[in-house]
Amino acid sequence: MKVGIMQPYLFPYIGYFQLINAVDTFVIHDDVQYIKSGWINRNRFLLNGKEYLFTFSVKKNAFIRFINQRYYSDKFEMEKGKFLRVLKQAYSKAPFYSKIFSLTREILSHKDLNVSSLNLFGIKKFCEYLGISTPMVLSSELKKNCSLRNEARVIGINRVLKATHYINPVGGINLYSKELFSKNGLKLLFLKSSEIKYEQFNDAYLPGLSIVDVCMFNKIDDIQAFLNQYELKS
């Protein structure tokens, strides 16, 4: 069984969905430390031909560390309104604007402002839209050794799930030891996305933007083809 593990990002890039689609079980790593300025509460889309970074603020609490213990701030409704106005300005002439704007608004109207809950709701809604049916589990709900850290923790999660293969984005290739995974009965693979290009109005193409951007400009069939444009490296 192939397993992938990622933190619950907000409207992540297409490589995130390639990983979900490539594995048999996808683990949402919700019980790890929330890191400010990561991709948990922010992402990028296209605005007037340039990259636009959006951020939703998270309540400050020095005593709460984990992602699944954090909440979006009391300014969320105001920030959501601004985000949707900018999204409309950015994409109102995109071919699939109406459908994706409605989907994005639905996600941001999720009643639970817990960061992990809202982000996971968004991930699942885009998976549903794209026809991705991979089962997802929360790391926090697995009976695992919570004292383990880093590579040992990832191996522990895989062993709980009885995985045979662990697939990680290629950006983490220097974080893991193939030999250590092999000693634990796991084949370690890295997913490297192929170049994905599509028309973004008449602007020069900007790669790596949020899945929102991908879905604004592309038919579902084309995005499903994008999901398979990668190679697995050992």
For position 193, what pLDDT does the model report?
A: 97
pLDDT digits (tens, 9 = 90+) for 25-82: 999 999 999 998 899 999 999 999 999 999 999 999 878 889 999 999 999 999 999 9
CA distance 172 to 190: 8
Mean pLDDT over 148-159 rounds to 95
3-class SS of residue 225: helix
Higher pLDDT, 207 or 148: 207
pLDDT digits (tens, 9 = 90+) for 91-147: 999 999 999 999 999 999 999 999 999 999 999 999 999 999 999 999 999 999 888
CA distance 43 to 117: 17
For position 206, what pLDDT does the model report?
A: 96
CA distance 213 to 217: 7
For position 159, what pLDDT does the model report?
A: 97
For position 63, what pLDDT does the model report?
A: 80
Joined tokens for residue 78: 């105001």
Is this structure's pTM higher than 0.75? yes
For position 146, what pLDDT does the model report?
A: 85
DSSP assignment string, 17-85: HHHHHHSSEEEE--SSB--TTSSSSEEEEEETTEEEEEE--B---TT--BGGG-BB-TTHHHHHHHHHH
pLDDT digits (tens, 9 = 90+) for 7-16: 999 999 999 9
For position 167, what pLDDT does the model report?
A: 98
pLDDT digits (tens, 9 = 90+) for 80-95: 999 999 999 999 999 9
* Cβ(190)–Cβ(168) below 8 Å: yes
- For 146-157, b/e burial (b = at least 16 CB within 10 A) is eeeeeeebbbbb
Nearest C-alpha neighbor of 18 from the set 117, 134, 118, 166: 134
Ramachandran region, residue 169 (left: φ > 0; alpha: ψ -120 to 50; beta: rest): beta
pLDDT digits (tens, 9 = 90+) for 199-224: 999 879 999 999 999 999 999 999 99
For position 80, what pLDDT does the model report?
A: 98
Higher pLDDT, 225 or 149: 225
CA distance 61 to 76: 16
- Greatest CA separation found in the chain? 53
pLDDT digits (tens, 9 = 90+) for 186-203: 999 999 999 999 999 987
Terminal alpha carbon distance of the chain: 16
